[in-house]
A and B are shown apart, each in its own frame.
Chain A
Amino acid sequence: MISALSLFDLVLIILLLWLAWHLLSARDLFRATVLFITYGLLMSLAWVRLKAPDVALAEAAIGAGITGALVLVALGRFGEAESDEAEPGSLWLRGLVASAALGLFALLGWAVWSLPTEMAGLKAQVFERMGESGVENPVTGVLLNFRAWDTLLEMAVLFLAVLGAWSLGEAEEPSMPAPGESLLALVRLLIPLIVLVSGYLLWLGETAPGGAFQGGAVLASGFVLLLLAGVRPIPSLMGWPLRAALGSGFALFLVVAVAVTGGSRMLLEYPPGWEKGLILLIEGVLTLAIAVTLGVLFAGGRPPASPGAGKRGEKR
Chain B
Amino acid sequence: MPLNEWIGLLFILAAAPFFLAGSVGLLRFPDLYCRLHALTKADNIGLGLLILGLMIQSLSLADFLKLLLIWLLVLLAGSTAAHLVARSALRQGRKPWERR
Contacts and interface: CB of A to CB of B under 8 A. Distances in A.
B73 A193 contact: yes
15 contacts: A180-B84, A180-B87, A182-B80, A182-B83, A182-B84, A183-B80, A183-B84, A185-B80, A186-B76, A186-B77, A186-B80, A189-B76, A190-B76, A193-B69, A193-B73
Interface string A181-204: 011011001100100000000000
A189 B76 CA distance: 9
Interface in A3-31: none
A190 B87 CA distance: 21
A182 B79 CA distance: 10
Interface string B65-91: 000010001001100100110010000
Contacts of A186: 76-77, 80
Contacts of A182: 80, 83-84
Given A182-B80, A186-B77, A189-B76, 5 more contacts: A180-B87, A183-B84, A185-B80, A190-B76, A193-B69
Interface hub of B77, B80, B87 (most chain A Cβ within 10 A): B80
Contacts of B80: 182-183, 185-186
Contacts of B83: 182
Interface of B: 69, 73, 76-77, 80, 83-84, 87
Nearest to A190: B76
A196 to B, nearest CB: 10
A189 B72 CA distance: 11
A218 to B, nearest CB: 12
B9 to A, nearest CB: 16
A180 B84 CA distance: 9
Contacts of A183: 80, 84
A182 B77 CA distance: 11
Contacts of A190: 76
B85 to A, nearest CB: 11
Nearest to A187: B80
B7 to A, nearest CB: 23
A190 B73 CA distance: 8
Interface string A18-52: 00000000000000000000000000000000000
Across the A-B interface, the 9 shortest Cβ-Cβ residue pairs: A186-B80, A182-B83, A182-B80, A189-B76, A183-B84, A186-B76, A180-B87, A182-B84, A183-B80
A189 B73 CA distance: 10
A269 to B, nearest CB: 36
Contacts of B76: 186, 189-190
Nearest to A181: B83
A185 B80 CA distance: 9
Contacts of B73: 193
Interface hub of A180, A185, A186, A189 (most chain B Cβ within 10 A): A186
B51 to A, nearest CB: 17
B71 to A, nearest CB: 13
B98 to A, nearest CB: 26
B83 to A, nearest CB: 5
Interface string A157-189: 000000000000000000000001011011001
A63 to B, nearest CB: 15
Nearest to A189: B76
A186 B72 CA distance: 12
Nearest to A185: B80
